[in-house]
Amino acid sequence: MGSSSPCHSTRPPAQAFSPRASTSLGRSTCSSSSLQEILLAPSLPIICHLKGLLVMRSTSSSSGTSVEILTFSIPMSSLKGWVREQQFYLWFDPTADFHTYSILWNPQHVIFMVVGTPIRDFKNHKANNISFPDQQPMRIYSSLWDAEDWATRGGLVKTDWTQAPFNASYRGFNADACTWLSGASSCGSGSNNTWFNRELDSTSQEKMREMQQQYMIYNYCTDSNRFPQGLPPECSLP
């Protein structure tokens, strides 16, 4: 998607765009310019779903801008329905220009990047009996919708609809991925694509740790109130 795609909302329902194909593994990027000259915005810009389950979202408001990154909530008994959530403040103004949001998904990692900077690496720990999404298709779409009941500090801040319409633009969507057809991946058991075996090098890992230390405002791995019987097992793994 080389040209800019507008998305606007005055009240629900949501506005959205989506590629038609489902992918099984891949690298996806999209640039967004979100919600200019408003008091408070609903959720955006990138929402990725794995079989209909939220992966990544961003919110913007007059009281500060944050990006909320979620890993996968897979409907399997071993995961107990947990949403493995982290939240970050953005270190830039997303309304000032287009910014790029990326997801790299291969058999060993799901890496989330904002303007080229890694902020989350969800690793494959299936060897430790922790589920990882390497056998399910995913679709990526972006939407502008009303999430004031939970997105803005747990719903404490409400959308000022007198400032509508809210506008956002998207451009430069790119997906280099294995397509999912008839219940199987086009990549089979492997791929020659560079992203298929990619992982963060030591420099990128250190940068990710710095971003987490500076901008992370919530981490499910430290939320003992949410998990009174003990934190999820991957929280103790490197």
Domains in the chain and their CATH numbers? 5-236 (2.60.120.200)
Q: What percent of the chain has pLDDT over 70?
A: 57
> Is 0.85 topped by the overall pTM?
no
Distance CA 194, CA 1 (A): 22
Alpha-carbon dihedral angle through residues 183, 188, 192, 194, given to the nearest 10 degrees? 50
Query: Residue 147 is encoded by which pair of tokens?
Result: 């999430």
**pLDDT tens-digit series, residues 98-145:** 888 888 888 899 888 888 999 999 899 999 988 888 777 777 666 666
CA 167 to chain centre: 20
